[in-house]
Amino acid sequence: MSLATEAARETIVPVALGSGYDIVIGRGVLATLGRRIAALRPGCAVAVVSDETVADQHLAPALHSLAEAGVRAQPVVVAPGEGSKSWRVFEQVCEALVAARVERNDLVVALGGGVVGDLAGFAAAVLRRGIDFVQVPTTLLAQVDSSVGGKTGINSAHGKNLIGAFHQPLLVLADTALLDTLPRRAFAAGYAEVAKYGLINDPGFFAWLERHHDDVFSGGDAREEAIAVSCRAKAAVVARDERETGERALLNLGHTFGHAFEAAAGFSDRLLHGEAVAIGMTLAFAFSHRLGLAPADDVARVKRHLEAVGLPTHPRARGNEVPDADRLMDLIAQDKKVKRGRLTFILARGIGRAFVAPDVDPASVREFLIETLAQP
């Protein structure tokens, strides 16, 4: 199948934020990057921020597409991994953009997974007091979650994503063919965010995933359908609540627990973000059941489905070392949803029935963690 034919199958999801932008989903759409940028910003130059792993596979075709459209491009390549979401690498990217003479009417292109998207987007948000950027997500997690909605940022020693800005992209170009090169572990990590949308408010989608997850993983038509459904779900939520003052917090299902486990693992490959979210969602449903909210059958379904696709559901899965409950509570206290020291969790009354629970009793969370960590 030619790239032109593949690109003709593209799905476009509009996002009603700022001046509005599109998420373009389809196989082969990376080849259209240059002409789309030339149409959006005639005469601009771009800096393409990527990491070493992605650059080896996808930077050349991206630069070729830009060159064909007459767009001058300068690559900026960083080390792969969560460690690049740091003050040190952020400074390096900003200085590289300045050295490349990126002007206010030029663009930054984030070519990579969530780390690159967050890092490049944050740099674009502050460079010359803000320039536009384009997201070209290369992982499933980035295509269905982090590239949409304008959250950008870096990590602090105290927690994940504590330093950043809301900065909406000009365009999101999600080429599903790029996912063919992902290791299964990385794809599964992204799938956790796909499952999340069903667990929040779409029980029909979760049931569909239970039936079709093999096709999503193998790259069949179900893959693009799952991505499109996920992007529509996130676009709808963030359009109603851009800066997470209410409903958007639901998108953090599993993240309060998950971010604590990520921080405990040193934001390393020992525990990928999506793996931490899978553990966090399992615990969120189990904690909801403990509080008399979620039925036991739904807790079991969540755990069973996540394990069926190869995701961990217990903090100590795969021999992962986890600190004690007191240390985890310290990390949870740094969560962005904490308000005046009070804990806010996303809990559930069942699959597809998540809700924001403010002022959760820390003592009950600590007791739950103690019991969970004691389980084999």
pLDDT digits (tens, 9 = 90+) for 315-330: 999 888 899 999 999 9
Say whether both 346 and 310 belong to one domain.
yes
Taking Cα atoms as reference points, which of 271, 176, 266, 185 lies closest to residue 226? 176
- Is 212 catalytic? The answer is no
Question: DSSP label at 142?
Answer: I
The pLDDT tens digits of the residues spanning 302-316 come to: 999 999 999 999 999
- Is 184 catalytic? The answer is no
User: 355 with 347: CB under 8 angstroms?
Assistant: yes
Distance from the first to the final alpha carbon of the chain: 49
Cα angle 347, 348, 350; round to 5: 165
Domain boundary residue, one of 137, 152, 181? 181
- Is 193 catalytic? The answer is yes
**257 alpha-carbon distance from chain centroid:** 16
Please tell me which residue, 345 or 338, carries the higher pLDDT value: 345
Is the Cα dihedral 126, 130, 131, 137 positive or negative? positive
In this prediction, residue 296 carries a pLDDT of: 98
132 dihedral zone (left: phi>0; alpha: psi -120 to 50; beta): beta
**360 alpha-carbon distance from chain centroid:** 25
Say whether both 285 and 174 belong to one domain.
no
Domain membership of residue 43 as a residue range: 3-181
The pLDDT tens digits of the residues spanning 57-95 come to: 999 999 999 999 999 999 999 999 989 999 999 999 999
**What is the pLDDT confidence band of residue 3, given thresholds at 50, 70 and 90?**
very low
- Options 167, 213, 255, 303, the catalytic residue: 255
**Number of folded domains that form the chain:** 2
- Options 27, 223, 248, 337, the catalytic residue: 248
Say whether both 146 and 198 belong to one domain.
no
Say whether both 216 and 158 belong to one domain.
no
**Separation between Cα atoms, residue 205 and residue 86, nearest integer Å:** 36
- Options 259, 289, 303, 337, the catalytic residue: 259
- For 313, the enclosing helix (H) or strand (E) is none
Quick one: average pLDDT of 256-263? Answer: 93
pLDDT exceeds 70 at position 357: yes
In this prediction, residue 158 carries a pLDDT of: 83
The pLDDT tens digits of the residues spanning 132-170 come to: 999 999 999 999 999 999 999 999 988 888 999 999 999
- Is 85 catalytic? The answer is no
Domain boundary residue, one of 181, 213, 247? 181
Taking Cα atoms as reference points, which of 216, 221, 251 lies closest to residue 235? 251
Quick one: average pLDDT of 18-47? Answer: 96
Domain boundary residue, one of 160, 181, 202? 181
Question: DSSP label at 28?
Answer: T
pLDDT exceeds 70 at position 4: no
- Options 58, 151, 223, 303, the catalytic residue: 151
In this prediction, residue 339 carries a pLDDT of: 65
Say whether both 244 and 280 belong to one domain.
yes
Say whether both 69 and 212 belong to one domain.
no
Say whether both 114 and 227 belong to one domain.
no
- Is 234 catalytic? The answer is yes
b/e 98-129 (16+ beta carbons within 10 angstroms → b): eebebeeebbbbbbbbbbbbbbbbbbbbebee
- Options 155, 161, 201, 252, the catalytic residue: 252
- Is 248 catalytic? The answer is yes
Only one residue has tokens 């921020």, namely 49
Quick one: average pLDDT of 277-297? Answer: 98
- Options 244, 301, 305, 336, the catalytic residue: 244
Say whether both 95 and 198 belong to one domain.
no
pLDDT exceeds 80 at position 338: no
CATH number at residue 269: 1.20.1090.10
**Separation between Cα atoms, residue 71 and residue 66, nearest integer Å:** 5
- Is 225 catalytic? The answer is no
User: DSSP per residue over 188-242, as a string?
Assistant: HHHHHHHHHHHHHH-HHHHHHHHHHHHHHHHTSHHHHHHHHHHHHHHHHHHHH-T
Quick one: average pLDDT of 29-36? Answer: 98
Say whether both 237 and 265 belong to one domain.
yes
pLDDT exceeds 80 at position 8: no
- Options 129, 211, 318, 340, the catalytic residue: 129
Say whether both 128 and 50 belong to one domain.
yes
CATH number at residue 175: 3.40.50.1970
107-112 and 46-51: which strand pairing? Answer: parallel
Say whether both 126 and 11 belong to one domain.
yes
359 dihedral zone (left: phi>0; alpha: psi -120 to 50; beta): left
**Separation between Cα atoms, residue 222 and residue 225, nearest integer Å:** 5
pLDDT exceeds 50 at position 7: no
Say whether both 321 and 359 belong to one domain.
yes
Quick one: average pLDDT of 240-255? Answer: 90
- Is 252 catalytic? The answer is yes
In this prediction, residue 376 carries a pLDDT of: 80
